[in-house]
Amino acid sequence: MARINEHYQKLQAGYLFPEIGRRVAAFQASEPDADVIRLGIGDVTLPLAPAVVEALQRAVGELATAEGFRGYGPDQGYPFLVEAILEHDYRARGVAIDADEIFVSDGSKQDSGNIQEIFAADSTVVVTDPVYPVYVDTNVMAGRSGAADDAGRYAGIRYLAASEANGFAPGPPDEPVDLAYLCSPNNPTGAVMSREVLAAWVAWARESDAVILFDAAYDAFVQDPALPRSIYEIEGARECAIEMRSFSKRAGFTGLRCAYTVVPRACAGRTAAGERVALHGLWARRQSTKYNGVPYPVQRAAEATFSEEGRKQTGEQVAYYMGNARRLREGLGTAGLGVFGGEHAPYIWLRTPGGLSSWDCFDRLLGGAHVVGTPGSGFGPAGEGYFRLSAFNDRARVDEAIARIQRLGAAGW
């Protein structure tokens, strides 16, 4: 009989969002008339921008012709998209990246989950806590941890608490670790790393020969131009960091699927014998073996987000969601809740009222206000006592959710 990968059995319950989905479905089955407002999973709600739709349709039309038909695309993405990425995401901010350092893909979830495959099975891993569950779960699946304790902390994985005291942006550990996952703007706390904190991480990684896996999927939500959007804005990061970015949240591509990962040629790991090896070649080999790329029309659609019209239209979408975030911050703050995040990210991080546990708060909001959020403890032990609300929804629904939560608070939770 085939033996299973027993590391999967260490994983906690289900993946967070399907678990929430199950609980909401059970609630709706018991209260079918309840008008439930979903501010849980961070999924976009606005329709695709006109410039994106036009590019998609044009590209599909091309595929319908003998001259325009295309089969497999280039391994790392079409040059038209790679060039647009380089121009707008990097050169515009004074960052030099080479075209062949970009790997176009169908999502940062996949890339941040798959990247660990190119590192040794006994690599040590550090995450900030609370954390996007993908970073931890994929390392557990790969056998880089022991069992989880009662709080959900896996043995062998280093957790750095992101707390109110450090502005939810902890600095590097005081010991060498092989791989560090960072996410800024952060999912779930909505905090953003300052240039100083990020520079401290880069200095630590260079000193301890670690690799930083930097998830910048929410870069477009940064409102202050002085804050870093890319880790490569920090001197020396090309030698120690891999960066992931996505069109999902910045341009409404959660259904279309397009993202990219940057693996600079200067970024290296080493063999057991101590030989330095560029990570670029390993990731290129991994991707060309297991992946055939993003569909041509979707890459054209992603390219269109960088046109003048595309930037304007997707910028308006980001501004709309950030308007929701501002309303949530203000509305829930006046209801007496401890409110964090939401200034440079589409997530609001709340201290649960009255000392409720994260899941009790979930049940209270769902049962009492018919609002779905995400329990902070689902993102890691340090998320206990916190709760995440997403700003991705219709403005009127967000306002309605705020009013309902205020009423619940006035009634004493």
> Of residues 20, 38, 39, 42, which one binds ligand MLT by CB under 6 A?
42
Q: Which of 41, 148, 203, 284 binds ligand MLT (CB under 6 A)?
A: 41
Residue number of the CB atom closest to ligand MLT: 42
Pick the closer one to ligand MLT by CB: 145 or 187.
Answer: 187
Q: Among 39-47, 78-86, 284-292, 352-360, which window interacts with ligand MLT (CB under 6 A)?
A: 39-47
**Residue 304 Cα to chain centre, angstroms:** 22
Give the range of 38-46, 159-167, 190-198, 263-271 binding ligand MLT by CB under 6 A: 38-46
Q: Which residue in 105, 187, 314, 352 binds ligand MLT (CB under 6 A)?
A: 187
Element (DSSP H or E) covering residue 161: strand 157-161
Report, in Å, the least distance between residue 159 CB and ligand MLT. 18
| Residues in a beta bridge with 213 | 181, 242
CB 251 within 8 A of CB 52: yes
Q: Which is nearer to ligand MLT, 247 or 296 (CB)?
A: 247
> At its nearest, how many Å lie between ligand MLT and the CB of residue 35?
22
Whether 397 contacts 37, CB under 8 Å: yes
Query: Considering beta carbons, is residue 42 or 190 the nearer one to ligand MLT?
Result: 42
Q: How far is the CB of 247 from ligand MLT (least distance, A)?
A: 12
DSSP string for 199-225: HHHHHHHHHHT-EEEEE-TTGGG---T
| Total residues interacting with ligand MLT, rule: CB under 6 A | 5
223-282: contacts with ligand MLT (CB under 6 A): none
Q: Which residue has the tokens 């199950």?
A: 22
Q: What is the rounded distance in angstroms from the CA atom of residue 293 to the CA atom of residue 78?
A: 9
Smallest gap from Cβ 187 to ligand MLT, in A, equals 5
Min separation Cβ 212 and ligand MLT, Å:
20
Q: Following DSSP, what letter does each residue of 342-397 receive, concatenated?
A: -SSSSEEEEEPGGG--HHHHHHHHHHHH-EE-EEGGGG-GGGTTEEEEE--S-HHH
- Which is closer to ligand MLT, CB of 108 or CB of 124? 108
Q: Which CB sits closer to ligand MLT, 42 or 269?
A: 42
Which residues, other chains included, contact 151 with Cβ-Cβ below 8 Å and sequence gap of 6+? 381, 384
Single out the segment in contact with ligand MLT by CB under 6 A; choices: 36-44, 172-180, 197-205, 295-303: 36-44
CA 280 to chain centre: 22
- 247: closest CA among 304, 195, 287? 304
User: CA end-to-end span of the chain, whole Å?
Assistant: 53
What is the amino acid identity at position 235? E
Burial class from Cβ neighbours inside 10 Å (0-12, 13-18, 19+) for residue 45 reads middle
Footprint (CB under 6 A) of ligand MLT, residues 99-158? 109
Residues 205-224 touching ligand MLT, rule: CB under 6 A, are none
Candidate ranges 41-49, 69-77, 78-86, 357-365; the one touching ligand MLT (CB under 6 A): 41-49
Which of 22, 70 has the CB closer to ligand MLT? 22
CB of 298 to ligand MLT, least distance (A): 17
DSSP reduced 3-state for 244: strand
| Min CB(130)–ligand MLT separation in Å | 11
Q: Which is nearer to ligand MLT, 287 or 390 (CB)?
A: 390
Strand partners, 348: 341, 389
Nearer to ligand MLT, 109 or 250 (CB): 109
Least Å from the CB of residue 41 to ligand MLT: 4
How long is the chain?
413
Nearest CB to ligand MLT, comparing residues 264 and 341:
341
Angle among Cα 270, 274, 276 to the nearest 5 degrees reads 40
Q: Under the rule (CB under 6 A), what is the footprint of ligand MLT?
A: 41-43, 109, 187
